[in-house]
């Protein structure tokens, strides 16, 4: 679920569409997704329903799709805060892109969101995600995965 190749630090991408496509493409290249366009459509559909900017400078875009082979969490830290949604005007730096197979959507999807949300309540965790190197960020993300299993 967590893969070092799905961690991108200090990106200079500046809008959610580019970020979602970039992280989705990484997941596709690693075999987590069979059809990138279908997955992106699912994520964009969810974005239109309700903003995934959750506060604390974090967004958790996600999509449940038959195009997802295996559940994954991709993570990006942007170089500087970006506006995720014009209406919400909540700048974000930490983006967790989640993909869950359609047939596992209810339980796994909710477990992943719950574990990420729980960690985000911890100020030290958030600070580490903003300031630490890739090895430490990977370690922190693995803590989330351990609590999901």
- Active-site choice (16, 21, 26, 62): 62
Quick one: three-class SS letters along the chain?
CEEEEEEEEEECCCCHHHHHHHHHHHHHHCCCECCHHHHHHHHHHHHHHCCCEEECCEECCEEEECCECCCEEEEEEEEEEEECCCCCCCEEEEEEEEEEEHHHHHHHHHHHHHHHHHHHCCHHHHHHHHHCCHHHHHHHHHHHHHHHC
Q: For residue 109, indicate whether it is catalytic.
A: no
Catalogue the active-site residues.
62
């Amino acid at each position: 679920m967590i893969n070092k190749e799905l961690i991108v630090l200090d990106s200079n991408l500046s809008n959610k569409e580019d970020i979602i496509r970039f992280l989705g493409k990484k997941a596709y290249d690693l075999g987590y997704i069979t059809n990138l366009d279908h997955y992106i459509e699912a994520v964009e559909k969810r974005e239109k329903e309700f903003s995934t900017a959750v506060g604390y400078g974090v967004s958790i875009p996600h999509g449940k799709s038959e195009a997802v082979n295996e559940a994954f969490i991709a993570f990006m830290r942007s170089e500087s805060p970006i506006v995720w949604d014009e209406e919400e005007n909540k700048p974000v730096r930490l983006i967790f892109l989640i993909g869950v197979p359609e047939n596992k959507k209810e339980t796994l999807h909710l477990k992943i969101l719950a574990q990420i949300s729980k960690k985000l309540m911890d100020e030290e965790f958030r600070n580490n995600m903003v300031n630490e190197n890739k090895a430490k960020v990977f370690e922190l993300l693995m803590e989330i995965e351990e609590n999901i299993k």
